[in-house]
Amino acid sequence: MRHHDAQFNLKEVEKLCQLYQDCQLTVLEETELEYVLAHCDFDSPVIKETKGLMTVSRSVKFAANEKPHKSVWKWVPRVAACAALVLGIAAIYHANQSNDNCIVYVSGEKANDEIAHEIAEADVAKMQQFMQVVNEQKAAEEEKVKQFTNHINQSK
């Protein structure tokens, strides 16, 4: 972007506004464009729209900076509860598996050992699939927290 003492024409300002709307400018260039728009007398639909977007963007940034930790802590109890539930189910299953006794009732009637084992194995497979989903969600959330923390540390 040019120095602030240079003069821009309408087409150049509109081109910069279009680049802003296409997310093609760096943060520094966006700041410089905001300065240019505040001090120029050009008027066009693209310029008006860009000024509006900058106003919205600024308000979102301020709102995000006010309570950055609230969103992070929303999911932590949920993940912890899911992990505790899965670990509890796994512990109960492993405790029952050690004596190799499965008693299953299907439609109110006791099922034989083979059917009981099949049902138990199906439940274990579902539990393992659920554990995999929880672990993937946990990893994704940890990555988001890591990125968020890095972003906060870089902005200081």
Lowest mean pLDDT among 55-59, 64-68, 106-110: 64-68
Q: What is the reported pLDDT for 109?
A: 81
**Predicted confidence (pLDDT) at residue 145 exceeds the cutoff of 60:** yes
Q: Which amino acid is at 114?
A: E
Q: What is the reported pLDDT for 156?
A: 65
**Predicted confidence (pLDDT) at residue 134 exceeds the cutoff of 80:** yes
**Predicted confidence (pLDDT) at residue 60 exceeds the cutoff of 70:** no
Lowest mean pLDDT among 32-36, 39-43, 51-55, 66-70: 66-70
pLDDT in tens, 69-116: 556 566 677 777 777 778 778 777 766 555 556 677 777 888 787 887
Q: What is the reported pLDDT for 91?
A: 76
**Predicted confidence (pLDDT) at residue 50 exceeds the cutoff of 60:** yes
119: CB partners within 8 A, 6+ apart: 102, 104, 106, 111
**Whether the predicted model's global pTM rises above the 0.75 cut:** no
**Predicted confidence (pLDDT) at residue 61 exceeds the cutoff of 60:** no
Q: What is the reported pLDDT for 30?
A: 85
Average pLDDT, the chain: 78
The predicted model gives 16-22 an average pLDDT of: 87
